[in-house]
Chains A and B, each alone.
Chain A
């Protein structure tokens, strides 16, 4: 139990505990990509637990090509004014100046995201000094622990954003959880070698082995398009889901948003996931990933 600190002063929001606290509050919910205040209102009304402010959803970024950057300040401010749920926004990998702008804006979570064009091909943002918590994508345990060691307060799968294809998110969830199970089976003297293989700090590796889980919440993202996709991710151990293009690129965004929320709450109950799956109209168009060139795969970004 913590000692009462003298003078009753606050431990300000820099502490990781406070940052992880918001990630804890987002569990069991759906975080939706939105590009306008009106979309943000639809998301909130439909039961989203947070929104991600973006200029273009990932499937449009994929279609348009070019450099994808942080969302414009006006769009973020407009969305912050329009909803009371937390507002997140993305920065390019390694672009700490974009992150500083979002921190100044008081966004509730910063996503250092492979969906945008990377700004640094070797280094991610040093996340600990920021007031806003960070979420980062990961494909496996080593990548997750490197992001956590940089100060991330939440990990999400990378999946393959904007593809409407769940296969990569499933791969990343299974990989991460399999890595954790394998680590938990090791003897104490085998930890340093495991840390070397994972390319992650030994202290964090030991912590994961002890806890048999990450020290921060782990959410699913990338390719979630249907209520069943959300239920699948929850059943594979995700603690909440991000839905990007899947909502506002579908035929009836409000109905689909409510359905994905319902399936995320009731993922243990197939009857309720069935109820959520009725009458939704067309899902977003999907991409078979073998048709993508390696250079078009967003999940390969990040180091």
Chain B
């Protein structure tokens, strides 16, 4: 039996257990990440959904920003979903009253937080047809919860899926970001996509 791939999930706050379940179901070993030392044995890393402000405070408290940047620099793949996507972005736009926070800055996009509104504006949808970058994901149900939008994409950022014209799944090298929650459905295709980026 080949050893299972260890995939980390940042476990400060949010739906990290849902990601862990997805990973276990595709024969990976999920690892809760709270400390720098947790990152060493990992083949890939996930920043889960949750509250981006809360997780950012935790990343600061745990001194995890630089270790995650270093992790990305080693060429190991990273997936951020919703709050995780915001934390991967180079730039974040929010309302004037919002507190600012540091990001990992691994994805050359601007994240607009709560871009669709409050929870009463949350929704689910399927990707726009004709964005053929990821033809095999076109029937993927996308669940958006107080979701951000990604704008001002750098030329190195590839759009894999759009919903109502907005990019919802993007890739820059080994960095993947989804503004929706693949971990909330039983569909593990986005997790499989992350694993496909692992160097074997």
Contacts and interface: CB of A to CB of B under 8 A. Distances in A.
A201 B119 CA distance: 28
B80 to A, nearest CB: 14
Given A5-B126, A45-B57, A49-B13, A25 B120 contact: no
A89 B97 CA distance: 20
B27 interface: no
Interface in B4-37: 11-18, 34
A48 B56 CA distance: 11
19 contacts: A1-B139, A1-B186, A2-B185, A5-B126, A8-B126, A10-B124, A12-B123, A13-B122, A17-B124, A19-B119, A25-B146, A28-B50, A29-B13, A47-B57, A49-B13, A83-B98, A84-B114, A107-B119, A131-B120
Nearest to B12: A265
B94 A84 contact: yes
A18 B146 contact: no
Given A25-B146, A265-B34, A132 B119 contact: yes
Nearest to A3: B139
A168 B110 CA distance: 46
Interface of A: prevailing SS: loop
Contacts of B83: 25
Interface string B177-200: 000010011110000000000000
Interface centre among A21, A41, A261 (most CB of B within 10 A): A21
Interface residues of A, number: 49
B15 A24 contact: yes
A215 interface: no
Given A1-B186, A84-B94, A132-B119, A28 B16 contact: yes
B167 interface: no
Given A10-B125, A25-B83, A106-B118, 5 more contacts: A5-B126, A25-B49, A28-B11, A29-B13, A106-B119
Interface in B100-138: 113-114, 117-126, 128-129, 138
Nearest to B181: A21
A8 B18 contact: no
Interface of B: 11-18, 34, 49-51, 53-54, 57-58, 61, 82-83, 94-95, 97-99, 113-114, 117-126, 128-129, 138-139, 141, 143, 145-146, 181, 184-187
Contact of A21 (B61, B139, B145): B145
A109 interface: yes
Interface string A73-104: 00000001111111100000000000000010
A185 B145 CA distance: 36
Contact of B51 (A1, A13, A85, A107): A85
Interface of A: 1-2, 4-5, 8, 10-13, 15, 17-19, 21-22, 24-29, 41, 44-50, 80-87, 103, 106-109, 131-133, 261-262, 265-266
A1 B138 CA distance: 13
Nearest to B143: A21
Contacts of B95: 84
Contacts of B82: 25
Given A10-B123, A85-B53, A108-B119, A25 B97 contact: no
B149 to A, nearest CB: 14
Contacts of B34: 265-266
Contacts of A24: 15, 18, 49, 145, 181, 184
B139 A4 contact: yes
A108 B118 contact: yes
Contact of A22 (B123, B145, B187): B145
A22 B57 CA distance: 20
Nearest to A46: B57
Contacts of A84: 53, 94-95, 98-99, 113-114
Given A8-B129, A84-B95, A84-B114, A29 B123 contact: no
A204 to B, nearest CB: 20
B123 A11 contact: yes
A27 B58 CA distance: 14
Contact of A18 (B98, B113, B117, B145): B145
Contact of A48 (B12, B15, B54, B139): B54
A22 B117 CA distance: 13
B54 A85 contact: yes
Nearest to B16: A28
Contacts of B126: 4-5, 8
A263 B152 CA distance: 38
Nearest to A130: B120
Contacts of B49: 24-25
